[in-house]
Amino acid sequence: MTSIVPASTRQNFKAKRWSAVIATAFAVVFGSMAQAEEAGEIIKSHGYSFYGDLKYPADYPHFEYVNPDAPKGGEISVARASSVDSMNPYNGKGRAGLFSVMHYEGVLGRAPSYEPAPADVYAEYYCLLCETLEYPVDKSWVIFNIRKNAKFSDGSPVTAHDVVFSHNFYLDGGLKSAADGIRKRVLSVEALDDYTVKFSFADGIPRRSLIASAGNGPIWSKAWFEKTGVKMSDDWRGDKLPIGSGPYKIVSADLSRSIVLERREDYWGKDLPFNVGRNNFDRIRQEIMTDDTASFQGFKTGLYTFRQETDSRKWAADYEFPKAQNGFIIKKELSDGSPPVPTGIIFNLGSEVLKDKRIRQAIAQMFNFEWTNESLQYGLFKQRASFSQDTPLMAQGKPQGAELALLQSLGDLVPADMLAEDAVVPHTSRPTRLLDRNNRRAASDLLDEAGWSVVDGKRRNATGDLLEINFLFNSSSSPTLSAVIENFVSNLQAIGINAKLEKVDSSQYTARERDRDYDLVFDQYAAILGTGTGLLQYYGSEAAAFSLFNPAGLASPLVDAIIDISLNAKTAEEENTAITALDRALRYELFMIPVWYNDSYWVAYYDMFEHPENMPPYALGHLDFWWYNADKAQKLRDAGVLR
């Protein structure tokens, strides 16, 4: 049983751990890499990290945090509180999800739940479908040597030809922003023989993420697609669902009710060290619910058995029902070692009225975190400021040293006040009342300055147009989040903004968000722990007009320049400096109002699941390395607790 770590201890632990990760990322291997470069050697390995350091040697028996003797068996079930209408998340057309991709594998390994594997290190990748990989020191290409015993679920072998096919298949119909990025970075993918595949990368581009990205894409069966005629544009339901090579197979996908996966007894890789102590459940089931209220009721009745709680009101007050009080359901906090996901209220920068930063600043002033946290969230959250929150990469104070030098080297791209002032942090508000008078005054001054004066209680410009803002909101969200946003909108209305909260169902929400049919939306970006070409998808200008990962449509020459510097960094120190500068710049751009974060996982589950005593820092892993206790499950059945 894992003990609960106090918040202050977690914070110190995270800072120390990230310092250690950053230090080992370059200190361990620069000497050996320099020697290899002089000799022009080819690096051949069982895994990959950019700086060459790997925690696990080639003969590792299993990951340190797993229970190698974990029993196999049982079922774990979870819920999704929104609709699903596709099993194809790659073409961007429907609302798919995690359970649509868990049966696919990459050449390099990951968890079926798409959490990192291993989950006790950052940015290290180990061979799964491949036995080894090899690449030159300049990382201009990589060769993956595919395991000859790797097989798809129909028993056919996984070959280099399937890797080539999968790459080209995605380029032909996958998400445009991702596909365009791949085309610019990967010159060719060729099968050198049946089990050897080579990726060649473009000249003159950063080497970051190239090898990892080449090895992490899903591998599909070329023969299956040629036989069935299924296309990337299809939604992949029923007999159009592609086979995978992973440890689980989808056996049922009723998108109005549930998706069920079963563990494959004939899984080719079950005895690999990579998989020891993992993939322990016989069945993994996802119940599809209309909204979070229905989802919680389903958990209480036993419709599903594991819940990761995100609603503070429920966590604080709603677990007093008999099953929880009697110990049949375990309620627990587990330490989360990853920086929080940058969640918040996002501005659509394509909206004409929001192009004026003063208006965004005024709107941001009206979010009262302190009142929200105390009155609606039981004081359980902290306010997020950074895209690298609680890590040594988080920008703080005024830029100094190497970061200052980097920013100064960018000349006029960097605003003078960004160099002279502290990194942007959220304003403070009075927790005793929703509408903080000082913040109201500050917001009103900004709107006046921007030319939006109060006329008969409404903000109008010189031509008499109303200052109108629409907030798109998913009606399947929790009642607590709904209350938070409703109160924020009422604050906007109190300063004369004609703000409208549009609650729509999941289907409409997805369609409108993809079309950017909103001024404000509650969404998220990606936490930044290091550099990589994925930063361009989230924060870069190149795909800003259409990237699904960039809901604000952020397109900043300053941000682009810093990302480019990070991608071309030669040492970990240079990379870390660039990431700190990037965090500072993103916060300065004000495309998101940061809200709250929790540095723990809140989990509740029926008392038949167990996890390692020493949990890894970067994953909860309930669908990966937890396991089922049959004796405990029988006690629950005997007590009439389980359905």
Among residues 116, 47, 55, 67, which one has the least CA distance to residue 278? 67
d(CA 389, CA 598): 11
69 residue type, one letter: D
Collect all residues with Cβ–Cβ distance below 8 Å to 593 and sequence separation of at least 6.
344, 345, 346, 347, 363, 364, 367, 426
What integer pLDDT is reported at residue 17 of this predicted model? 36
What integer pLDDT is reported at residue 590 of this predicted model? 98
DSSP three-state, residue 371: helix
Q: What share of the chain is helix, strand, coil (3-state, %, to 5)?
A: 35, 20, 45
- What number of other Cβ atoms are within 10 A of residue 466's Cβ? 15
What integer pLDDT is reported at residue 40 of this predicted model? 65
Q: Are 625 and 611 in contact (CB under 8 A)?
A: yes
d(CA 241, CA 86): 10
What integer pLDDT is reported at residue 480 of this predicted model? 94
Please, is 296 exposed, middle or buried when counting C-beta atoms within 10 Å of its C-beta (0-12, 13-18, 19+)? buried
* Cis amide linkage into residue 118, ω under 30° from 0: yes
- Joined together, the tokens standing for residue 622 give 């309930």
d(CA 318, CA 480): 12
Query: Any idea where the domains of the chain sit in the sequence?
Result: 7-273
Question: For 580, which DSSP code?
Answer: H
Alpha-carbon dihedral angle through residues 341, 425, 441, 496, given to the nearest 10 degrees:
-30
Among residues 331, 426, 346, which one has the least CA distance to residue 382? 426
467 residue type, one letter: L
Question: Any idea which architecture 7-273 has in CATH?
Answer: 3-Layer(aba) Sandwich (3.40)
Q: At residue 345, what are phi and psi to the nearest 5 degrees?
A: -90, 115
- Joined together, the tokens standing for residue 13 give 């632990």
Cα separations (Å) of 158 from 88, 107, 167, 227, 232?
A: 21, 10, 14, 16, 20
d(CA 102, CA 261): 9
d(CA 220, CA 101): 11
Collect all residues with Cβ–Cβ distance below 8 Å to 207 and sequence separation of at least 6.
50, 138, 139, 140, 201
Alpha-carbon dihedral angle through residues 529, 535, 537, 538, given to the nearest 10 degrees:
60
Q: Are 72 and 283 in contact (CB under 8 A)?
A: no
Q: Please name the helix (run of DSSP H) or strand (run of DSSP E) that holds residue 561, with its range, or none.
A: helix 557-567
345 residue type, one letter: I
What integer pLDDT is reported at residue 94 of this predicted model? 79
DSSP three-state, residue 87: coil
**Mean pLDDT for each consecutive 10-residue tract of the chain (643 residues)?**
28 34 32 40 95 95 98 98 90 85 95 88 95 97 98 98 97 88 94 98 91 96 97 91 96 94 97 98 96 95 97 95 96 93 97 97 98 96 96 96 98 97 97 96 98 96 97 94 97 98 93 95 94 91 90 97 94 94 98 96 98 95 98 96 86
First to last CA, the chain: 26
DSSP three-state, residue 193: strand
